[in-house]
Amino acid sequence: MILPLALAQFIASYAATNMNVAITSIATDLHTTVIGVQTAITLFTLTMASLMIPGSKLTDIWGRKRCFVIGLVIYAAGAVLALLAPVLGVLIVGYSVFEGVGSALMIPPIYILVTVAYPDMKSRAKYFGVVSGAGGLGAAAGPLIGGLITSAISWRASFGLQVLVVLWIIVLARKIADPARPGPRPRFDLTGAILSALGLLFVVLGLLISRTYGFLGARKDFSIAGTVIIPKGGITPVWISVAIGALFLVWFILHIRSREKKGKDVLIRMRMLRNRVANLGMGTQLIQWLIVQGSFFVVSVFLQQVRHYDAIQTGLMLTPATIGVLATSAAAARLARRHTQRSLIIAGFIVTAAGMALLLALVRKDSSNLSYVPGLLLFGAGVGVMLTSSVNVVQSSFSEADQGDISGLSRSVSNIGSSLGTALVGSVLVAAAAGYPFAASAILLLVFALIGLGLSVLIPRQRAAAEPAARADRVTTGS
């Protein structure tokens, strides 16, 4: 059953990165602007990120397999619309809305199904490694595959490929076993879903627009419908958007706390937020995705702006990182038999930091292509180890009945980390443009890797080892 789950994670990761290399081609073909296409990409990210928690909760109501297949069908419909799009508006509906909603429905069940199908942590490590490897491959190879298809055929063919792969996944999904969820099906908390979606939407939106407006002060006028709301040099709209999102999330927490006191069903139980092991695991996840997306972004920009490589050449240069991710993800089961998940997360951060340090030490404007290989290979190897282990720690911290809650929360944290990584790097590249922007960005990411290492050390030893999820479920901050 792991093949359709891994393929679904691959295609979702691919969809998030391949569009960037086809922006100009799409804008020309649809008679629109580059900004219009970039808006479509941003809306896809916002849709997926904001609906991940409600989408995960629906697995408890509809069933995991059914939710997975419904997500695939919606995703495929969106890919068909994008494939045939005559104007930007149709592309936005197909790619940004339908594929975003489809991703929010199909991604959480991937991790839930692996968790419930393989009861011990060491077995889960093997299959989380397969899924994580597929996700890493999709993200890293997205620009390369998308660039090749766009150059050889058309940007539309990339959506055609997605349709074919998703239809294949739907056929394969018939063999997925979905054990019955214990307990009665909960009611869907619509108010909670709206509040959580709005909170995540504004937080992620603020991070995304930071590349345009900056974190410290507005780099340009912020206008709505032609009216300047914030002049250049004023408070950046980034913090306004993040603050609005934070207020909605606080409202969301107060809402679920009130409903729980009344004995009503909620989107996420409050105890999900009090589990020390899971919180530390999600902290490492956030930083992992921050440095993964941030590092890929800074290396890609460096190659394209300094070395003047095209998208295909850039994708090929990132191949060592992809190989590193796949190699350690494939070895996840063997590593889990010999080491605790905590020690693997620690080792992953150390190896990743070493890879980043090598890139800083070896790569220069005029250095050879081989100078990138040691750093990228180590970086990818470290990422493959720690991503798999962090997911395993988080998902295994709760019993089967709670998987619909924790999976969406975990995926949302990962999305925020990804958005924060590119946001921070983009802001540093602009702020340090007159000095050494790429070195400054890499040093910042290295600092975050060390912070992640510190968090991983705090994960309790006894809870990082394999043990029944029902026991880990009871771990709280005060235990």
- Is residue 110 within 8 Å of residue 204, measured between CB atoms? no
- Residues 19, 389: Cα–Cα separation, whole Å: 29
Element (H, E) at 18: none
437-458 vs 276-305: helix axis angle to the nearest 10? Answer: 160
Cα distances (angstroms) measured from residue 198 to each of 191, 195, 205, 244, 278: 11, 5, 10, 9, 24
- Is residue 101 within 8 Å of residue 51, measured between CB atoms? yes
pTM of the model: 0.82
Tokens of 260: 């729980």
pLDDT grade for 462, boundaries at 50, 70 and 90: low
pLDDT tens digits for range 15-47: 877 777 777 788 888 888 877 887 888 788 888
The DSSP output letter for 401 is: G
Q: Domain residue spans in the chain?
A: 2-188+265-472, 189-264
Arithmetic mean of pLDDT, 235-239:
87
pLDDT tens digits for range 68-97: 999 999 999 999 999 999 999 999 999 989
- Residues 308, 325: Cα–Cα separation, whole Å: 26
- Residues 281, 395: Cα–Cα separation, whole Å: 9
Place of tokens 């495929």: 76
Instruction: Quote the pLDDT of residue 405.
Output: 79
Asked whether the predicted pLDDT for residue 471 surpasses 60, the reply is no
Asked whether the predicted pLDDT for residue 101 surpasses 90, the reply is yes
Contacts of 99 (CB under 8 A, 6+ apart): 15, 44, 75, 78, 79, 82
Asked whether the predicted pLDDT for residue 378 surpasses 90, the reply is yes
Instruction: Quote the pLDDT of residue 455.
Output: 92
b (16+ CB within 10 A) / e for 376-409: bbbbbbbbbbbbbbbbbbbbbbbbbbbbbbbbbb
> Could you tell me if residue 308 is left (phi over 0), alpha (psi between -120 and 50 degrees) or otherwise beta?
left
| 73: helix, strand or coil | helix
Residue 323: what residue type? I
b (16+ CB within 10 A) / e for 306-332: eeebebbebbebbbbbbbbbbebbebb
Asked whether the predicted pLDDT for residue 467 surpasses 80, the reply is no
Asked whether the predicted pLDDT for residue 350 surpasses 80, the reply is yes
DSSP-assigned letters across all residues of 244-301: HHHHHHHHHHHHHHHHHHTT---SS-GGGGS-HHHHHHHHHHHHHHHHHHHHHHHHHH
pLDDT grade for 478, boundaries at 50, 70 and 90: very low
Instruction: Quote the pLDDT of residue 432.
Output: 63
Asked whether the predicted pLDDT for residue 138 surpasses 90, the reply is no
Instruction: Quote the pLDDT of residue 8.
Output: 92
Most confident of 13-22, 374-383, 456-465: 374-383
The DSSP output letter for 396 is: T
Arithmetic mean of pLDDT, 94-122:
87
Q: Which of 52-56, 291-295, 465-469 comes out lowest in average pLDDT?
A: 465-469
Residue 221: burial class (beta carbons within 10 Å; 0-12, 13-18, 19+): middle
How many residues appear in the chain? 479
Q: What class is the 2-188+265-472 domain?
A: mainly alpha
pLDDT grade for 431, boundaries at 50, 70 and 90: low
- Residues 58, 172: Cα–Cα separation, whole Å: 22
pLDDT grade for 454, boundaries at 50, 70 and 90: very high
Residue 353: what residue type? A
Instruction: Quote the pLDDT of residue 458.
Output: 92
Instruction: Quote the pLDDT of residue 433.
Output: 63
- Is residue 57 within 8 Å of residue 190, measured between CB atoms? no
